[in-house]
Amino acid sequence: MSTRILITTVIAALFISTGIQAQGKYGNDSVECVKRLSLYDGFLQQENYKDALTHWRWVFNNCPEVSKRIYIDGNKIVNKIMETIEDEAVKDKYVDTLMMIYDKRMKYFEEECKVWGLKSVDYFNFRRKVELEKSYEYLVKAFDLCQNETHPAVLVKYMQATVLMHMKKIIDDKQFVDNFSRTFETIGYFMENNPDDPNGNKTKEIVLSLLMNSDIGKDNVKLISTFETLWTDKNGELYVARAIISVISAKADKEKREERPEEAKKLTDSKVFFNALEKLVKEDPSESTYAILARLSEEKGKYSDAVEYYKKALELSVVDKNKGNYNFEIAKISGSYLNSYGSARNYAYLAKDLNPDLAPNVYILVGTFYGKSAGSCGDSKLGNKDVYWIAYDMVAKALNYELSDGMRNQVNKLMTSFKGAWPTQQEIFFATKNPGDSHKVECWINETTTVRPNEN
């Protein structure tokens, strides 16, 4: 006998033994209520949903206040029965039963936000083809009730309904984008308060995909124009600013991946994108905002600004992996554009410590900077070619990690290039060195390596 059946039987025995009359949550016949609870529960445990339904329905109609569990069980029973029905007309009648379950659950046990969310999702799933507008209205009501507490599953359906309503021209472009903007705001709240819940990122990806594949999302001019209208109508509200940054950044990244850099630039150069960034920096600075500003500054050749923005993103970040990524970006910019190799190496090593996945990238980057220093560092007696020993050693460390074919090819090319620039045996002799000797490369590098001749 299952624990649930045993508990229900004990309750029934108590009622019978004490002679308690039907009152309150057990309805007009408390003994019959408990008996029916036990019967439907037994059939439910046996997955006999047809017989469970008969006794469950009696409980639902005669003692609806007995327990919130009867509504959860009723939902399961009805859904399982619907899975076996092929006649759509018959199945549709069970949808009415589901809606009754949700309505009565709210009547006796409240939880309007949660239950309206469940109700709206089911109504959309079962009736969107014939009652799209009502499905949409239910989802809007659930969203309005829950606000930032709206469940991710409801947000996805809300956006799917929004797309369908827009396709049928029942809602206009501005409403379409406003719905997405409100949804992004809610997803952000969910992710901030549930950092370990994967549903946050999954929901964001789904919603972004819905937007990108819509007629507005596919048309960059229309996307910017619609956001401009919404920005004006909403007087630059923060939730709109966040949505603009999220959507336009994602669309620009997509354009870059598809090798349309000019289209990406048009998006990030748009006035509404700049206005949104400016709004967020002034009123709600965040890690992601500074990271976006850093990337944009780098693309525009404002490298010092880019470094400063990455540092601000670094200050606000609480995730080591993100911190590692920001340090790595600072390292790349500092060494590649600001000729600050020593600082670049420090940031690169910090990146590796915070995000170990970056280790091979760090060794390649630092090794490359070593190689670029041959003109200003190294032993003049060796023609500064000793720098290539240490550059080769550094890049070779990347081979200790699992690399993609492209990265492995990059490492092999660098190693071949550095090895080909080593001092010859004659140059080593005249510098009073011998192969195998320990040798320190001075300058900012300040590391020890081994003397080796170029044998090519």
Q: What is the pLDDT of residue 10?
A: 45
* CA-to-CA dists, residue 216 to 159, 176, 178, 292, 412, angstroms: 14, 9, 12, 23, 45
Nearest Cα to 351, choosing from 333, 376, 378? 333
Strands 438-441 and 447-450: what pairing?
antiparallel
Task: Please enumerate in sequence order all residues whose Cβ is within 8 A of that of 6, keeping only pairs 6 or more positions apart, or say none.
Answer: none
Q: At what angle do helices 220-233 and 261-268 cross, to 10 degrees?
A: 10
d(C-alpha 196, C-alpha 420), whole Å: 49
373, 443 contact by CB (below 8 A) = yes
Instruction: State the Rg of the chain over Cα.
Output: 33
Half-sphere exposure of 424 (CA within 13 A, CB side): 4
Amino acid, single-letter form, for residue 291? A
The pLDDT tens digits of the residues spanning 289-347 come to 999 899 989 988 999 999 999 999 999 999 999 999 999 999 999 999 999 999 999 99
* CA-to-CA dists, residue 349 to 158, 346, 367, 384, angstroms: 45, 5, 12, 25
d(C-alpha 176, C-alpha 197), whole Å: 27
Please name every residue paired with 440 in a beta bridge, in sequence order, or none if there are none: 448
d(C-alpha 282, C-alpha 126), whole Å: 45
d(C-alpha 362, C-alpha 370), whole Å: 12
Under-50 pLDDT residues of the chain? 1, 3, 5-22
C-alpha of 394 from chain center: 35
The pLDDT tens digits of the residues spanning 413-426 come to 999 999 999 999 99
Task: Please enumerate in sequence order all residues whose Cβ is within 8 A of that of 19, keeping only pairs 6 or more positions apart, or say none.
Answer: none
Tokens matching residue 349:
């090593």
d(C-alpha 413, C-alpha 407), whole Å: 10
Would you give the DSSP letter of residue 424?
A: P
Q: What is the pLDDT of residue 23?
A: 52
* CA-to-CA dists, residue 313 to 285, 290, 322, 356, angstroms: 9, 5, 9, 20
What is the residue-wise DSSP string for 41-87? HHHHHTT-HHHHHHHHHHHHHH-TTS-THHHHHHHHHHHHHHTT---
Burial of 67 (0-12, 13-18, 19+ CB in 10 A): middle
- Prediction pTM value: 0.71
Give the chain's length. Answer: 456
CA dihedral 279, 281, 285, 291 (to 10 degrees): 120
C-alpha of 261 from chain center: 24
* CA-to-CA dists, residue 140 to 2, 24, 51, 86, 103, angstroms: 41, 35, 36, 30, 17
Q: What is the pLDDT of residue 16?
A: 39
Q: What is the pLDDT of residue 11?
A: 45
Q: At what angle do helices 88-109 and 112-127 cross, to 10 degrees?
A: 170
Tokens matching residue 274:
């700049």
Would you give the DSSP letter of residue 431?
A: T
